[in-house]
Amino acid sequence: MSTSLSPLLAPMLSSAAMRAVCDDQETLQHMLDFEAALARAEAATGVIPASAAEPIAKACKADGFDLADLAEAATHSGNLAIPLVKALTAKVAQSDAEAARYVHWGATSQDVIDTAAMLSLRAGIDALLGDLDRAVTGFAGLARQHRSTAMVARTWLQHALPMPFGLKLAEYAAALHRAKRRLQRMRQDTLALQFGGAAGTLAALGDNGLVVAEQLARNLELPLPEAPWHTHRDRIAEAASVLAILSGTCGKIARDVSLMMQTDVAEAFEPAGEGRGGSSTMPHKRNPVAAATALAAATMAPNLAATILAAQVQDHERSAGPWHAEWPTLPTLLLVTSGALAAIVDIAEGLEVDVARMRANLDTTGGLIMAEAVTMALAEKLGKSDAHHLVEAASKKAVAGKKHLRDILADDSQVTALLGGDGLARLFEPMAYQGASQALIDRLLASLDET
């Protein structure tokens, strides 16, 4: 296996399915698929002899070529397509010298490389969509299971208000579902055949250029664009953006999980396993290894996407340099995105939740987390400003005296007169102050069913 990630690190940072997609042998096969499809398209449209197509197609098998020789030759030619076409022509000539005359007829190197990239993107998107389905399903199931599980909502890493854990989980599912929709739209609208010949005019094919292009697009099952797009790289840039956004979504989920796994929080955990999450020196450790993978990928992805965005600035009809920068960058972005998503699938399908610890953490501030609930109830009687000052003073008193806020307020005759003892007690029930959370969960889960 050879990928744009080190073979030593690739299994940790990418999925097996994406490593297969981005494997050099597979990339070479996509380039050869273009050549075979081109020969068949030109034979079908009468541009080359009908007898030439099958000898060319038969020779388009990646295992018949030496990757190392092609790589070395590319250092002199400037791209892989030139030595590949030369080697393919020689291979076809061994069985049919006449057919060999028509290898790569009317095409240019960029047509081969860009179309191969589109084929790799299509396969990569399909691999990601499968994992997205698993992650969305996993988090949606957890959201339904924990829609009444009370936990701390945190803002600026501080305790803010109570919330149902199911809301957080439903948000994960919906964000991943939006990523799925982006990938589906990209698969349908962004992928496109690249076929323009030397300068994007198809001049070498005379009046047959568009006829061949239409047949070639059908053969490869790729959309035919309005025109070749050699130096208009918005399609590649859009793909990079969508992949980077997906990596970021995975990173956000991973960040939450790693924080919930902290010893001092201990609310939810990645699935356990033999030898998983251990330390080389501390036998008690349970490190967030899947979250770390997703966070590593989320750190790498924006910079990879930035390289591709920068490569949009290309000169005239064919560019030297920026186009070349895409070649290792896009596969690497696919790989790390797949690694982030695979880690999130692992979490979605095996998250361990400590419901009791979530409830206990709600009580660690001695009722201060319910201060807003009390304030809003008193505001109906006193007005917002006076209620705020009253509860703020009570909160400071509770902290100074290391007492529960409820007890401080219960000793305030004004508060008990306005709210009553039972009313005050109800205000300290966390799930009694969740606003529209349950409706939001329903809305988020319903969005997963939208077509």
Active-site residues, by number, are: 279, 318
Rounded to whole angstroms, the Cα distance separating 350 from 165 reads 16
Structure tokens at 270: 């990645």
| Nearest of 126, 91, 167, 45 to residue 445 by alpha carbon | 167
| Nearest of 79, 39, 76 to residue 57 by alpha carbon | 39
| Nearest of 342, 344, 346, 298 to residue 17 by alpha carbon | 342
Q: Count CB neighbours of 10 within 10 A.
A: 22
352-353 and 268-269 as β-strands: parallel, antiparallel, unpaired? Answer: antiparallel
Residue with tokens 């699935």: 271
Q: Count CB neighbours of 193 within 10 A.
A: 26
Rounded to whole angstroms, the Cα distance separating 344 from 222 reads 30
149 CA to centre of own chain: 28
Rounded to whole angstroms, the Cα distance separating 85 from 32 reads 9
User: Residue 412: what are its φ and ψ, rounded to 5°?
Assistant: -95, 110
Structure tokens at 393: 């003073």
Rounded to whole angstroms, the Cα distance separating 405 from 395 reads 6
Rounded to whole angstroms, the Cα distance separating 268 from 142 reads 12
